[in-house]
């Protein structure tokens, strides 16, 4: 490691040792805290082998456990990490499907490292429950789940964007993490991709871009969240791990679409949401921005290069994810983070793939 990096790491370690205290009367989001804080600590432990980070991971992991004390064992969205209490959002008793099914990699790894099975037991139970639930559409899941009944709610709406996206990502990644032995996870993943092909895939005009739309009560909407650009990477990861070659073909088509979401916009920045044209119209591109605000970076208007209306706000994932992916993409060292040894959590923290039994 470069000397300046060692120095910065030592500074960060000192801050974690002396200033990162979780005994606070504060509500945190279970999902965000798991993927960012717990995932970050576990990853740092593996890359540094410094037990301080594992101790901190164990501390926050224990403080997040009250979220699972619900009638259905499907966790609440919010936890008070000082008081040890948990609750749903003020306006509903529902949790988001993506959130309750995208905490597994981290809790499973925490159990493996500590020898305490309660963390893995809690999150595995959620996956087993979701596996058996009715309300899916050819493997596609609704966006909300009730913490009292354990049933899907707001049925009939299917998207690979916000509130559902990382459910699909974590099906594949848990299967990879566990040494490709947990067949239920793989079955659900493969079924979901077939559901995407059957219900959500369309091609735009005039360039015939393959995109993933949304389904609401049987009606197709040609709307794609930028978040859906996780899917080509996930499909490629599956193909790399021996799944069907046509997943790679679909990944290539979708990543071209994601590129066009930037290339066809005046600033070169993709908006958060894109609407695709299904019918060729003179003077119209494939990509239509019908959303007046909400740029992908923290600017309000991606269509105005001279005045993009900066928001004076940087999202934490820009440092946590974006810059890390850029660094890895442009590195010539294939073993820097080897995809046959590590799996990335949804916040770009590498966790080890468990050795096959």
Active site residue 272: yes
**Crossing angle of the two packed helices 183-195 and 165-177, in degrees rounded to 10:** 150
Query: In this structure, are residues 269 and 261 in contact, taking their beta carbons and an 8 Å threshold?
Result: no
Cβ pair 276, 222 in contact under 8 A: yes
**Hunting for tokens 């695709």 — which residue is that?**
276
C-alpha–C-alpha distance, residues 143 and 145, integer Å: 7
CB 195 within 8 A of CB 181: no
> How far apart (Å, rounded) are the C-alpha atoms in residues 166 and 33?
15
Q: Which stretch of DSSP H or E encloses residue 211?
A: strand 210-212
User: Could you give the C-alpha distances from 347 to 66, 97, 170, 207, 281, in angstroms and in order?
Assistant: 23, 17, 12, 32, 39
- DSSP 3-state of 353: coil
| 297 labelled ligand-binding | no
The length of the chain in residues reads 357
Task: Report yes or no: 293 and 319 within 8 Å, Cβ to Cβ.
Answer: no
Which is the catalytic residue, given 194, 272, 309, 321? 272
- DSSP 3-state of 293: coil
Q: How far apart are CA 100 and CA 118, in angstroms?
A: 16
Catalytic residues: 272
Query: Which residue positions form the known binding site for Ca(2+)?
Result: 346
């Amino acid at each position: 490691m470069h000397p300046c990096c060692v120095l910065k790491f030592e500074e960060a370690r000192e801050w974690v040792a002396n200033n990162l205290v979780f005994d606070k009367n504060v509500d945190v989001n279970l999902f965000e805290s798991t993927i960012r804080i717990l995932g970050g600590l576990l990853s740092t432990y593996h890359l540094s082998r410094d037990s301080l980070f594992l101790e901190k991971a164990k501390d926050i992991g224990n403080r997040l456990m009250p979220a699972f004390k619900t009638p259905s064992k499907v966790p609440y969205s919010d936890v008070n990490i000082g008081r040890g209490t948990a609750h749903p959002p003020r306006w509903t008793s529902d949790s988001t499907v993506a959130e309750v099914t995208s905490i597994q990699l981290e809790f499973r790894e925490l159990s493996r490292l500590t020898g305490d099975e309660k963390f893995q037991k809690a999150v595995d139970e959620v996956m087993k429950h979701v596996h058996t639930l009715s309300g899916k559409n050819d493997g596609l899941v609704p966006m909300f789940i009730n913490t009292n009944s354990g049933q899907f709610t707001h049925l009939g709406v299917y998207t690979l964007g916000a509130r559902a996206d990382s459910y699909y990502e974590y099906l594949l990644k848990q299967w990879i993490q566990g040494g490709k032995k947990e067949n239920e996870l793989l079955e659900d993943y493969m079924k979901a991709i077939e559901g995407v092909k059957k219900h959500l895939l369309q091609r735009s005009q005039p360039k015939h871009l393959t995109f993933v739309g949304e389904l609401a009560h049987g009606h197709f909407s040609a709307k794609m969240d930028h978040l859906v650009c996780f899917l080509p990477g996930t499909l490629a990861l599956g193909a790399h791990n021996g799944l069907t070659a046509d997943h790679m073909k679909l990944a290539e088509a979708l990543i071209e679409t994601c590129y066009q979401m930037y290339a066809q916009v005046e600033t070169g920045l993709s908006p958060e949401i894109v609407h695709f044209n299904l019918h060729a119209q003179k003077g119209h591109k494939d990509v239509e921005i019908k959303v007046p605000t909400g740029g992908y970076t923290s600017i309000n208007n991606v269509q105005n290069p001279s005045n993009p209306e900066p928001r004076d706000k940087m999202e934490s994932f820009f440092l946590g994810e974006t810059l890390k992916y850029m660094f890895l993409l442009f590195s010539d060292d294939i073993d820097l983070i080897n995809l046959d040894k590590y799996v990335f959590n949804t916040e770009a923290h590498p966790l080890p793939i468990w050795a096959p039994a």
